[in-house]
A and B are shown apart, each in its own frame.
Chain A
Amino acid sequence: MPAGSEALKKYPFLRGAEELVEGLSLTNLSDFPRVLELAEKKVRYMLGLSRERDDPTDKRDAVAAFSASLAMASATGSRRLIRSYASALSRELEKELSTDAPDIYKEVAASLGVPVEFDGKEFRMSLLDYLSLKGIDNEPDLLLPQLKVERGVVYFQVNVFRRLISTVFRRTLVEKMESQMRELSAATIDPKVKDAIASISAEFSKRRGEEVDVSSLSPIESLFPPCVKFWTSEMNKGINIPHQARFLVATFLLSIDMSVDDVLKYFSHTPDYDERIARYQIEDLAGQRGSGKKYSVPRCETLRTSGVCTCRQGLCQHMTHPLLYYKISIQKRLNGDPNAGRDCAGSLS
């Protein structure tokens, strides 16, 4: 059943919403000036670039503006902007939901692929559905031990479920926008729309500071993510560390533009160190051998799964990638924050 007008204005991503805006894209967006205006204003407002809020009064405009705003954010090509926009939208969603009766939550959850039942007091879903949810592991309140669990059913209080929906929403938006970003071809974007996107992008960079190009800086060890600090300190003590941890350290150091020789120094204290073998392996990771493929730094999710993640506090609670931690810590240090890079510092003795 299609969602009602009021619901679609608040939640323009509900099931059936996309049918309302079929055919709308960045190629023809300027043919719909009101939608373009709404979308641009929405991105600006949500990113804190403007205080002007312009809420659509028509459900078709609301859905179209929402969809166009995601495409515009994707077209900036900035992962940082995409993440910021997704976070702002997810915070807004949580706020909107708190003003609504819980009955609508089920519909919102369903549109995000989260099957759930509501018994008038609490939400419940099967354990298998819960285990299949993506992107909730950085939210302590949403982890299984904190929840009511009984005979294969997981229960959520209303406020906790609201958090769950907004967390899944954020993840869904990031995935959608990143995929749009990869698929977009700049040549097909309408020039008028391109101007709007360029202006948003420039203002965002100005407001938040230029994105730090970590490879242009000398390595700042004190700002390395806790996992990299931990495993390099273990190696310094002459301890043999697991393969996955070596992979993390090597790919991380290479990705901040350290030379193979400098990376080798970190490994030189391990008990089984053999320079010839280690050099071969690091050159391989750097893409200097064989297929020429340069290996990426594993994501936080992978590090947690393989037991290499060593910190889930502070900034790490919100991290998806070790390089992101490093970039943010550098930014914080530049802004004068004395605690930058000090997460889980006590456990590194």
Chain B
Amino acid sequence: MQEEIVRAHFHDYYSGINAERLYVPDFPKREFGFLRPDKREMVRHLSFHDVSSLRSYLVSIPVSHVYSSTAIYRDPSNKDMNAKGWEGSDMVFEFDADHVKQLKDKANVKSGVLDSSDWSLIKEHTRRLVNDFLVGDFGFNQKDISINFSGNRGFHVRVSSKPYLQLSQEGRRRLASYINGADLDVDLIYSKLKQRGRAKIIALSQPGWMSKVAKAMGDGQTSVEEAIDSIALDIDENVLLDLHRLIRHVNTLHASTGMMVVPVRDLENFVPYEDALVPCDEEVRIRLGDLRPYSGISIGNLTLSEGLGGKEVRVKRSVAVFLLLKGLAQSSD
């Protein structure tokens, strides 16, 4: 029964979607990959001429994770990577809850159900990545930056800037090391802090890491190391460096949550467990499991609580799919 609910959820979503929502720039030049939820079999090296053929394919296949390449290729469906004809890759900065050090050990985060304070922190990190690093320091144009909710525990920030498409892995590594502070010379910061008068003011106002550290240190209550810790962002370097990476395709469904991988235009007011749930009127009956670690977290219009554990409830199908796939409920029909 559970499988039927999930299958219907995916089938109805792809049958009803406006195919244009599946568009990404250079669509025919992207490689696509599909992974079943048991992660046993990856079908990749596929490409589609247009969004309608992708939509038809999605309607026809079993429930799957759907990925497309950050790269564009002359021949994206060629199985030989060397013969695909790489023409460039977007830069993707992946931000997941398990990359935020304050969150990675939390029990609810490990099982992939986040509370509102967890989301606030991830959104804050994503906002800093975009405003402070990508726009403020690197000078990327806002129109080249898109943020997608990953459909599960985080966000993908994508930079599609033509001049940067062919940037080498080495160049991308320099960007990653800048953001995560790996190449920072702490001794140099100390030496600048030791300067006096005008020289010190000039040194500390140097745009980039130096002024960020000086600002975070405030009136000196915060140490240099603490300041660095509060600024550095732990992005997944492998994602950025991998020129052939496949990432979740926009407006498809995450096969471990049933939620949409949606573009986020207003990050501050984005509520994942409302805005990324597939809108639907259909309701299904489920029996809830142990909800103790998740008390107070709302999924759609259902607020989880310890007291609901073991009870049967009628909820919107998208809420039911989320809870079923997360193992927090069973179908009761």
Q: Which residues of B contact A128 (CB under 8 A)?
A: 163-164, 167
Closest to A153 in B: B139
**Interface residue A347 (Cβ < 8 Å from any Cβ of B):** no
**B85, CB-defined interface residue at 8 Å:** no
Q: How far is the CB of B300 from chain A (nearest CB, A)?
A: 40
Cβ of B188 under 8 Å from chain A: yes
Q: Does B208 lie within 8 Å of A145, measured CB to CB?
A: yes
Given contacts A128-B163, A148-B207, contact A143 B185 (CB under 8 A): yes
10 A-B pairs closest in CB distance: A152-B139, A131-B171, A150-B207, A149-B208, A151-B139, A143-B183, A145-B184, A145-B209, A144-B178, A148-B206
B74 to chain A, nearest CB (A): 23
Whether the pair A152, B140 counts as a contact (CB closer than 8 A) is yes
Among the stretches A79-87, A169-177, A301-309, A325-333, the one at the interface with B is: A301-309
Instruction: Tell me the minimal C-beta distance from B235 to chain A in angstroms.
Output: 13
Shortest Cβ gap from B221 to chain A (Å): 23
Residues of chain B with a CB closer than 8 A to A143's CB? 174, 177, 183, 185
Q: How far is the CA of A152 from the CA of B207 in the complex (A)?
A: 11
Smallest CB–CB gap between B285 and chain A, Å? 44
Residue A132 at the chain B interface, CB threshold 8 Å: yes
Q: CA of A152 to CA of B178 in the docked complex: distance in angstroms?
A: 13
CB contact list, B203-252 vs A, under 8 A: 206-210, 237-238, 241
A146-B174 CB under 8 A given contacts A151-B139, A307-B238: no
Any A CB within 8 A of the CB of B18 = no
- A151 and B169 alpha carbons, distance in the complex (Å): 21
Chain B residues within 8 Å of A190, by CB: none
Q: Is the CB–CB distance between A150 and B208 below 8 Å?
A: yes
| B136 close to chain A: CB less than 8 A | yes
Enumerate chain B residues within 8 angstroms of A307, measured Cβ to Cβ. Answer: 237-238
Bound state CA distance, A134 and B210, in angstroms?
A: 24
Chain B neighbourhood of A147, CB < 8 A: 208
B188 CB contacts on chain A under 8 angstroms: 140-141, 146
Q: Please, which residues of chain A bring their CB within 8 A of the CB of B170?
A: 131, 134, 137, 301, 305
A278 at the interface (CB under 8 A from B): no
Instruction: Write out the residue numbers on chain A whose beta carbons fall within 8 Å of the beta carbon of B174.
Output: 130-131, 137, 143-144
Once the chains bind, are B177 and A127 in contact (CB under 8 Å)? no
Given A128-B167, A131-B175, A132-B171, A146:B139 Cβ within 8 A: no
Please, which residues of chain B bring their CB within 8 A of the CB of A130? 174
- Chain A residues with CB under 8 Å of B181's CB are 145
Q: A146 contacts which chain B residues (CB < 8 A)?
A: 183-185, 188, 209
A residues near B184, Cβ cutoff 8 Å: 145-146
CA distance A301 to B210 in the complex (A): 26
| Residues of chain A at the chain B interface (Cβ within 8 Å) | 127-128, 130-132, 134, 137, 140-141, 143-153, 301, 304-305, 307
Residue of A nearest to B184 (CB): A145
Q: Whole-angstrom distance from the CB of A345 to the nearest CB of chain B?
A: 20
The answer to whether B15 has its CB under 8 Å from any CB of chain A is no
Q: Smallest Cβ distance from B179 to chain A, in angstroms?
A: 9
C-alpha spacing A318/B188, complex, angstroms: 19
* Alpha-carbon separation in the docked complex, A141 to B191 (Å): 13
Contact assessment for A150 and B137 in the assembled complex, using a CB-CB cutoff below 8 Å: yes
Distance (whole angstroms) from the CB of A299 to the closest CB of chain B: 11
Majority secondary structure of chain A interface residues (helix, strand, loop or mixed): helix
Q: Which residue of chain B lies nearest to A132 when distances are taken between CB atoms in the complex?
A: B171
Number of B positions contacting A (CB below 8 A): 32
Q: In the complex, A57→B228 CA distance in Å?
A: 53
CA distance A35 to B210 in the complex (A): 50
Q: Is the CB of B168 within 8 A of A132?
A: yes
Kindly provide the distance from the CB of B187 to the nearest chain A CB, expressed in whole angstroms. 9
Instruction: State in angstroms the CA–CA spacing of A151 and B140 once bound together.
Output: 7
Tell yes or no: B173 within 8 A of A by CB: yes
6 residue pairs of the A-B complex, CB under 8 angstroms, read A131-B171, A144-B177, A146-B188, A148-B207, A152-B139, A152-B140
Q: Collect the chain B residues with CB atoms within 8 Å of residue A149's CB.
A: 137-138, 178, 207-209
20 more A-B residue pairs beyond the given contacts A148-B208, A307-B238, with a C-beta to C-beta distance below 8 A: A130-B174, A131-B174, A140-B185, A141-B188, A143-B183, A144-B174, A144-B175, A144-B183, A145-B178, A146-B188, A148-B207, A148-B210, A149-B178, A149-B208, A150-B137, A150-B139, A151-B139, A153-B139, A304-B173, A305-B170
Contact A127 B138 (CB under 8 A): yes
Which B residues are CB-close (under 8 A) to A144?
Answer: 174-175, 177-178, 183, 208
Bound-state CA distance A153–B136 (Å) is 10
Contact residues, B130-152 vs A (CB, 8 A): 135-140
Chain B residue at minimal CB-CB distance from A136? B174
Q: Which residue of A lies closest to B139 (CB)?
A: A152
Q: What residue of chain B has the Cβ atom nearest to residue A144's Cβ?
A: B178
Tell me which residues across on chain A come within 8 A of B172, comparing CB atoms: 131
Q: Return B233 CB to nearest CB of chain A, in Å.
A: 13
Docked complex Cα distance between A147 and B175 (Å): 13
In the complex, the chain A residue whose C-beta lies closest to that of B170 is: A305
What's the nearest-Cβ distance from chain A to residue B174, in Å?
6
Contacts A144-B178, A145-B208, A147-B208; A305 near B169 (Cβ below 8 A): yes
Q: What separation, in Å, do the CA atoms of A252 and B310 have in the docked complex?
A: 58
Q: With a 10 A CB-CB cut-off, give which of A149, A150, A153 has the most chain B CB atoms.
A: A149
- Distance A131 CA – B237 CA, assembled complex (angstroms): 16
Q: Which residues of A are found within 8 Å of B169, using beta-carbon distances? A: 305
* Chain B residue contacts of A152, Cβ below 8 A: 138-140
Complex Cα gap A143–B184 (Å): 8
Q: Across the two chains, which residue of chain A brings its CB closest to B187? A: A140
How far in angstroms is the closest Cβ of chain B from A336? 30
Write the nearest CB–CB distance from A339 to chain B, whole angstroms. Answer: 20
- Tell me the smallest distance from the CB of B253 to a CB of chain A, in Å: 31
Residues of B within 8 A of A301 (CB): 170
On chain A, the residues within 8 Å of B207 by CB distance are 148-150
Contacts of B206 in A (CB 8 A): 148
Q: How far is the CB of B216 from chain A (nearest CB, A)?
A: 14
- Closest A residue to B172 by beta carbon equals A131
Cβ contacts under 8 Å, A150 to chain B: 136-137, 139, 207-208
| A307 to B176 CA separation, bound complex (whole angstroms) | 12
How far does the Cβ of B109 sit from chain A's closest Cβ, in whole Å? 24
Residues from chain A with Cβ under 8 Å of B137 in the complex: 149-151
